[in-house]
Amino acid sequence: MKFIRLIVKNLLRNKRRTFLTVSSIAVSVFLIATLETVLTELRNPPETPDSALRLVVRHGISMFEILPYAHRAKIARVEGVEAVIASMWFGAVYKDPSNFFASFAVDTDQFFQVYPDLQITEEEKEAFIRDRTGALVGRSLAKRFGWELGDRIFLESNTWPITVELTIQGIYDGGTDLGNTLYLHWDYFNELLKKEYGAWDTTVFFWVRVKSPDLVGSVSERIDETFRNSSFPTKTETEKGFLLSITNMLGDVQLLITSIVSVVIFAVILVAANTMAMSIRERTREIGVLKALGFRRRQVLRLLLGESLLLSLSGVVLGALPARWLYSGLNIAQITSGFISKFEVTNGTLLLCLAIGIVVGIAAAAVPAWQAARRPTVEALRSVV
């Protein structure tokens, strides 16, 4: 480590080249951090103590099948179930088809028991429960469209042949969706569909709150057991498992991202290797002098590898940390209509970038440093660059 000054001086000898190389590595690491964050978020949907207690019940065949509303009472009787609500995808569109966001028609009587993680005042809770055409919206969603308490809004559905007029009765903060969802009354929704189809009384999901975390597995099994031989069998998953099965539908995206990251790493190695090769070649004679002064081969090798590592790790720091700062201020949930709810460069991703930096640093200098260290001193001293 006593040669750290020498390493730094060597790097600063050609400031422009060092700057360009570090920048090139930094932007690539920025990209890697971004892509890894996408992967992390896809693989690890948000989970809180409250969301871990939530189960999603859907039809056993697929999430496009409907379940009779009568299932609700049967689920409520299952041992370990604290509360259960029906929930139906509404597919709301506000004014323009591009203004699309997550929206569900839900039973309001036990809604706040299933979603205790939504932060909202008692008055607003009651107002939402009382008003059959009331809507509960997330803070971020309300901001996006400039909605305030008491506003009346018209929403079209891109899934059902209905339009609703709703009054905003509550605005919540928090939640695993970070305030990007709209909830309306299931009764109201059901009534409109009944007018359209004659009969309805069906739903796609039931959301269940379990009494305690250790009951999650057994309650899921008991719910599915209850309906196993009925004409509407169910599949019960945790909220997290359900979100994972949705991202799983994106198919080969994960493989694609992983492949891109690998190719980018390879490209970074090439850039860094080019710089190290140029810089070591220019210093052939100097390295000869070092060896003439008594430096061992191993020391020379270490010096050059240290230089390369410092170069690549500077790039990692300048790429990964800004990514972390930049994304911490990003409302990704709003951009993706709630599909991805948070976008955070985790410590794991930072560590991964660090590991990539070390691999790049060693790989970039390995060949030229080895050659330089092995070169006979006399020959190195004689060389003209």
Partner 1 sequence: MRIPVKYNFRSLMVRRVSTFMTVMGIGLTVGIVVVLLAMIRGLDLTFTETGDDLNLVIVRKGAESEVTSYFAPNAYDLVRYLPGVVRDTGNEPLAVGEIVVVINLPRKDGGESNIAVRGTSEKSFLLRPEVQIVAGRKFRPGVRELIVSRSLLERVEGLDVGSEIELHGVPWTVVGLFDAGSSAYASEIWTGYTDVAQTWQRPVYSSLLLRAESAEAAESIKRRVSEDQRIQLDAFTQKEFFSNQTVSSVGLKVLATLVAVIMGVGSCFAVMNMMYGQVMSRRQEIATLRALGFRRRHIVSSFLVEALILSFFGGLTGCLLGSLFHGYSAGTSNLMSFSEIVFNFRVTPEVLSAGLAYALVVGLFGGFLPARQAATVRLVEILRQ
What residues contact residue 326 under an 8 Å CB cut-off, 6+ apart? none
CA distance 240 to 48: 10
Q: Which of 61, 70, 351, 358 binds partner 1 (CB under 8 A)?
A: 61
Under rule CB under 8 A, which residues in 308-337 are in contact with partner 1?
Answer: none
Calculate the dihedral angle through the C-alpha atoms of 290, 291, 294, 295, rounding to the nearest 10 degrees. 80
Q: How far is the CB of 235 from partner 1 (least distance, A)?
A: 9
Token pair, residue 123, equals 């008055």
Judged by CB under 8 A, the residue of 10, 34, 108, 284 near partner 1 is: 34
Measured from the CB of residue 271, what is the shortest distance to partner 1 in angstroms? 5
Residues 205-224 that bind partner 1 (CB under 8 A): none
150 near partner 1, judged by CB under 8 A = no
Q: Among 2, 5, 16, 77, which residue interacts with partner 1 (rule: CB under 8 A)? A: 16
Residues 245-274: x where in contact with partner 1 by CB under 8 A, - otherwise, as a string: x--xxxxxx--xx--x--xx-xxx-xx-xx
Q: Is 34 exposed, middle or buried (0-12, 13-18, 19+ CB in 10 A)?
A: buried
User: Cα–Cα distance between 372 and 282 in angstroms, integer?
Assistant: 11
CB of 275: closest distance to partner 1 in angstroms? 6
Instruction: Closer to partner 1 by CB, 24 or 169: give it.
Output: 24
Q: Using the rule CB under 8 A, is 39 a contact of partner 1?
A: no
Decide whether 167 or 254 has the Cβ nearer to partner 1.
Answer: 254
Q: Which is nearer to partner 1, 73 or 263 (CB)?
A: 263
Nearer to partner 1, 19 or 126 (CB): 19
Question: By rule CB under 8 A, what count of residues binds partner 1?
Answer: 47
Distance of closest approach, residue 181 Cβ to partner 1, in angstroms? 18
| Contact residues: partner 1, CB under 8 A | 16-17, 20-21, 23-25, 27-28, 30-31, 34, 61-62, 64-65, 91, 156-161, 231, 233, 245, 248-253, 256-257, 260, 263-264, 266-268, 270-271, 273-275, 277-278
